[in-house]
Amino acid sequence: MVLSFFIVYIVGLFERLLSLNAKIYIVVSMMNISTRMSCLKPSATVSLNEKVARLKKEGKSIINLVIGEPDYPTPSIIVEEGIKALKEGKTKYGASGGGTLLKNAILDKVQRENNLNYTLDEVVAGIGGKEILFHIFLSILDPEDEALIFTPYWLSYKAHVELSGAKLVEVPLDFSDGHVSIDIDKIDSYFTPRTKCVILNSPNNPGGYAFSKDNLEKLGRYLLSKNVWIVSDEIYEYFSFDREHHSILNVVPELQDRTIIVNGMSKSFSMTGWRVGYALGPRSVISKVKSLESQSSTCIPGFIEQASSLALKHGKELVQTQLQTMKMRRDFMVEQLSSIKNLGFIRPQGAFYMFLNVSHWYSSDKKDSLSFCEYLLSGSGVAVVPGVVFGKDEYVRLSYAASKADLEEAVVRLKKVLV
Ligand SMILES: Cc1ncc(COP(=O)(O)O)c(C=O)c1O
**How large is the average pLDDT for residues 11-34?**
55
d(CA 120, CA 123): 6
pLDDT at res. 14: 43
Pocket of ligand 1 (CB under 6 A): 68, 128-130, 154, 201, 205, 233, 235, 264, 266, 272, 277
* Residue 176 pLDDT level (bands cut at 50, 70, 90): low
Per-residue pLDDT for 12 more than 50?
no
* Residue 8 pLDDT level (bands cut at 50, 70, 90): very low
Which has more pLDDT, 381 or 181? 381
pLDDT at res. 3: 43
* Residue 183 pLDDT level (bands cut at 50, 70, 90): confident
Look at ligand 1, atom 7, and give the residue with the nearest C-alpha.
Answer: 129
**How large is the average pLDDT for residues 381-398?**
95
| Whole-prediction pTM | 0.90
d(CA 329, CA 325): 6
303 Cβ neighbours under 8 A, 6+ residues apart:
82, 85, 86, 90, 91
Give the alpha-carbon dihedral of 294, 300, 306, 310, to 10 degrees: -100
pLDDT at res. 243: 87
* Residue 16 pLDDT level (bands cut at 50, 70, 90): very low
DSSP helix, strand, coil percent of the chain (3-state; round to 5): 45, 15, 40
The preferred substitution site among 46, 47, 74, 130 for testing ligand 1, maximizing ligand atoms within 8 Å of CB, is 130
Per-residue pLDDT for 22 more than 80?
no
**How large is the average pLDDT for residues 300-317?**
97
**Nearest Cα residue to 332 out of 385, 387, 407:** 407
Beta carbons of 145 and 166 less than 8 angstroms apart: yes
pLDDT at res. 181: 83
Residue % of the chain over a pLDDT of 70 = 92
Candidate from 158-162, 174-178, 277-281 with smallest mean pLDDT:
174-178
Q: Give the pLDDT confidence of 92-136 residue by residue, as tens digits.
A: 999 999 999 999 999 999 999 999 999 999 999 999 999 999 999
The angle subtended at Cα 415 by Cα 409 and Cα 417, nearest 5°, is: 105
148 vs 291, 356, 360, CA distance in Å? 25, 24, 30
Per-residue pLDDT for 6 more than 50?
no
Give the alpha-carbon dihedral of 9, 10, 13, 16, to 10 degrees: 130
d(CA 60, CA 54): 9
**How large is the average pLDDT for residues 264-286?**
98
Which ligand 1 atom lies nearest to the CA of residue 154? Answer: 1
Which ligand 1 atom lies nearest to the CA of residue 276? Answer: 11
Whole-number Å distance, alpha carbon 391 to ligand 1 midpoint, is 17
Per-residue pLDDT for 13 more than 50?
no
pLDDT at res. 11: 40
**How large is the average pLDDT for residues 344-352?**
91
pLDDT at res. 87: 98
Question: Taking the CA of residue 61 as centre, how many other CA atoms within 13 Å lie in the half-sphere pointing to its CB?
Answer: 6
Tell me the average pLDDT of the chain.
91
pLDDT at res. 337: 96
pLDDT at res. 276: 98
d(CA 105, CA 98): 11
Look at ligand 1, atom 14, and give the residue with the nearest C-alpha.
Answer: 68
What per-residue string of b and e applies to 184-199 under the rule 16 or more CB within 10 Å gives b?
A: eeebeebeeeebbbbb
Whole-number Å distance, alpha carbon 201 to ligand 1 midpoint, is 10
Domain 76-316, CATH among 3.40.50.300, 3.40.640.10, 2.60.40.10, 3.30.420.40 = 3.40.640.10
Q: Give the pLDDT confidence of 71-93 residue by residue, as tens digits.
A: 999 999 999 999 999 999 999 99
* Residue 27 pLDDT level (bands cut at 50, 70, 90): low
Strand order across the 123-126 sheet:
123-126, 277-280, 259-264, 229-233, 195-201, 146-151, 167-172
* Residue 50 pLDDT level (bands cut at 50, 70, 90): confident
pLDDT at res. 49: 78
* Residue 2 pLDDT level (bands cut at 50, 70, 90): very low
For residue 76, give the amino acid letter: S
Quickly count helices (H) and strands (E) in the chain. Answer: 14, 15
The angle subtended at Cα 262 by Cα 261 and Cα 268, nearest 5°, is: 125
pLDDT at res. 128: 97
**Nearest Cα residue to 302 out of 83, 94, 79, 97:** 94
Residue % of the chain over a pLDDT of 90 = 78
pLDDT at res. 32: 84
d(CA 195, CA 168): 10
Judged on CB neighbours under 10 Å (0-12, 13-18, 19+), 98 is buried
**Nearest Cα residue to 175 out of 304, 31, 357:** 357
Outline which parts of the chain fall under CATH 3.90.1150.10: 39-73+319-417
Outline which parts of the chain fall under CATH 3.40.640.10: 76-316
Which ligand 1 atom lies nearest to the CA of residue 277? Answer: 11
Per-residue pLDDT for 283 more than 80?
yes
d(CA 158, CA 205): 14
> Is 400 strand, coil or helix?
coil
172 Cβ neighbours under 8 A, 6+ residues apart:
150, 151
Question: Please, what is the angle between helix 76-87 and helix 302-314, to 10°?
Answer: 150
pLDDT at res. 342: 94
Across the chain, which distance is largest between two alpha carbons, in Å? 76
d(CA 364, CA 380): 19
The yes or no reply on domain 39-73+319-417 and CATH 3.90.1150.10 is yes
pLDDT at res. 95: 95
